[in-house]
């Protein structure tokens, strides 16, 4: 019996995985779930009604917000919670599971926001992933397994930035990369999301804290899922076949259009961004418009690749993962 806590990362097929987790056998699913809309809801109803299949889309058993709040309460910046406080939080979780007639010893929690790499529309540092993993170990006990879906760093940052564009971020890719730290010590600073991408640092910190962690490459999740299914099978959980992909990737042209609109709608973001900040990014933005190309030239791409290269080498040497084959910078 085990407790699995899937913490993302974001932009690593989390929504698709959560559709699978809802249907997993041998556990109680808690956390973020997928909800059907429109045609998906009709298809889901037909599969359940006529084929007897389990639902693919429904509200999860446990409110995502409650899970997030517990983690945020457990990760204050000024102090570490006492064992009694952690025990009280664990009792609250156990009582909730029993209320749903679930087994507190068999849990599957999933919410990529728990990774600490939340989206960057707030003026506060990132939560460090190794600290979140350590807290998960305290909160869920020594038999807990934290699952981290990792991804080659530059594709991750690219996907992350595109998500920001779709939600109002007004800066070019070059500007976004310029704010990403290549130093682990400062990688959790405001608007830098790279703290979660130093995988060997995270691996070593988890080992030192005695917390079990399974790193599953995004490239495996979107491929044949060999590693993913082995991890869950070893914990006694049966996953349904396949991996549903619910969203199409928006075109570069649509992102350019959205970027233009974002830069003229700063008032909707309050004081988050200023015209002065946009002015510094103006040369890159003009290049994007004049060349009708989404990605402006930037030296920060190579800067970050060189920072991640030794980290990936160390991780590969320690785990035996063939990161070069998966196109990680090594």
* Residue 324 falls inside a structural domain: no
What band does 93 get if pLDDT is binned at 50, 70 and 90? confident
* Residue 326 falls inside a structural domain: no
pLDDT at 241 > cutoff 60: yes
* Residue 49 falls inside a structural domain: yes
pLDDT at 63 > cutoff 50: no
Structure tokens belonging to residue 18: 């959560």
* Residue 291 falls inside a structural domain: yes
Closest CA to 93 of 66, 60, 133: 66
Give the number of domains in the chain.
Answer: 1
Residue scoring higher pLDDT (174 or 56): 174
Predicted pLDDT at 60: 44
Predicted pLDDT at 162: 94
SS (H, E, C) the chain: CCEEEECCCCCCCHHHHHHHHHHCECCEEEECCCCCCCHHHHHHHHHHHHCCCCCCCCCCCCCHHHHHHHHHHHCCCCCCCCHHHHHHHHHHHHHHHHHCCCCCCCEEEECHHHHCCCCCCCCCCCCCHHHHHHHHHHHHCCCEEEEEEECCHHHHHHHHHHHHHHCCCCCCHHHHHHCCCCCHHHCCCCCCCHHHHCHHHHHHHHHHHCCEEEEEEHHHHCCCCHHHHHHHHHCCCECCCCCCCCCCCCCHHHHHHHHHHHHCCHHHHCCCCCHHHHHHCHHHHHHHHHHCCCCCCCCHHHHHHHHHHHHHHHHHHHHCCCCCCCCCCC
Which tens digit of pLDDT belongs to each residue from 216-228?
A: 999 999 999 999 9
What band does 271 get if pLDDT is binned at 50, 70 and 90? low
Question: What does the alpha-carbon distance between residue 109 and residue 37 come to, in Å, rounded to a whole number?
Answer: 23
What band does 102 get if pLDDT is binned at 50, 70 and 90? confident
Of 95-109, 179-193, 288-302, give the lowest mean pLDDT range: 95-109
Q: Give the CB-side neighbour count of residue 232, counting CA atoms within 13 A.
A: 24
* Residue 328 falls inside a structural domain: no
**Cβ distance 33 to 60 under 8 Å?**
yes
CATH number of domain containing 223: 3.40.50
Predicted pLDDT at 51: 59
**Cβ distance 153 to 217 under 8 Å?**
no
* Residue 296 falls inside a structural domain: yes
Average pLDDT over residues 235-263: 85
pLDDT at 301 > cutoff 70: yes
Average pLDDT over residues 103-113: 82
Question: What does the alpha-carbon distance between residue 46 and residue 144 come to, in Å, rounded to a whole number?
Answer: 37
Which tens digit of pLDDT belongs to each residue from 274-299?
A: 788 889 999 999 999 999 999 999 99
| Domain of 260, in residue numbers | 3-319
Average pLDDT over residues 223-252: 86
Report the mean per-residue pLDDT for the chain.
82
Which tens digit of pLDDT belongs to each residue from 250-266?
A: 899 999 999 999 988 76
The pTM of the full predicted model, rounded to 2 decimals, is 0.85
* Residue 201 falls inside a structural domain: yes
**Cβ distance 191 to 175 under 8 Å?**
no
What band does 99 get if pLDDT is binned at 50, 70 and 90? confident
* Residue 122 falls inside a structural domain: yes
pLDDT at 318 > cutoff 60: yes
Structure tokens belonging to residue 37: 């809309």
Average pLDDT over residues 196-203: 94
């Amino acid at each position: 019996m085990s407790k699995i806590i899937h913490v993302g990362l974001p932009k690593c097929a989390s929504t698709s995985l959560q559709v699978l987790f809802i249907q997993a056998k041998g556990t109680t699913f808690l956390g973020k779930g997928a909800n059907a809309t429109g045609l998906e809801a009709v298809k889901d109803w037909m599969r359940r009604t006529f084929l007897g299949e389990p639902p693919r889309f429904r509200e999860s058993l446990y409110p995502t917000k409650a899970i997030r709040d517990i983690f945020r309460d457990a990760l204050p910046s000024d102090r570490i919670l006492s064992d009694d406080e952690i025990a009280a939080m664990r009792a609250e979780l156990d009582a909730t599971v029993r209320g749903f007639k679930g087994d507190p010893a068999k849990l599957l929690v999933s919410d990529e926001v728990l990774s600490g790499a939340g989206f960057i529309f707030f003026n506060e540092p990132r939560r460090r992933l190794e600290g979140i993993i350590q807290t998960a170990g305290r909160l869920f006990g020594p038999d807990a397994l934290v699952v981290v879906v990792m991804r080659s760093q530059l594709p991750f940052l690219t996907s992350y930035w595109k998500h920001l564009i779709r939600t109002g971020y007004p800066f070019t890719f070059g500007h976004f990369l310029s704010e990403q730290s290549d130093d682990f010590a400062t990688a959790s600073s405001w608007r830098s999301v790279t703290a979660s991408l130093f995988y060997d640092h995270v691996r070593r910190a988890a080992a030192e804290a005695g917390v079990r962690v399974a790193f599953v490459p995004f490239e495996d999740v979107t491929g044949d899922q060999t590693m993913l299914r082995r991890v869950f099978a070893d914990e006694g959980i049966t996953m349904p076949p396949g991996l549903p992909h619910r969203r199409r990737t928006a075109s570069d042209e649509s992102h350019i259009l959205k970027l233009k609109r974002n830069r003229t709608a700063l008032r909707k973001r309050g004081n988050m961004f200023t015209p002065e900040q946009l002015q510094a990014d103006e040369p890159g933005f003009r290049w994007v418009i004049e060349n009708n190309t989404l990605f402006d030239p930037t030296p920060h791409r190579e800067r970050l690749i060189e920072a991640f290269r030794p980290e990936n080498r160390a991780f590969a040497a320690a785990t035996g993962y063939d990161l070069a084959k998966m196109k990680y910078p090594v």
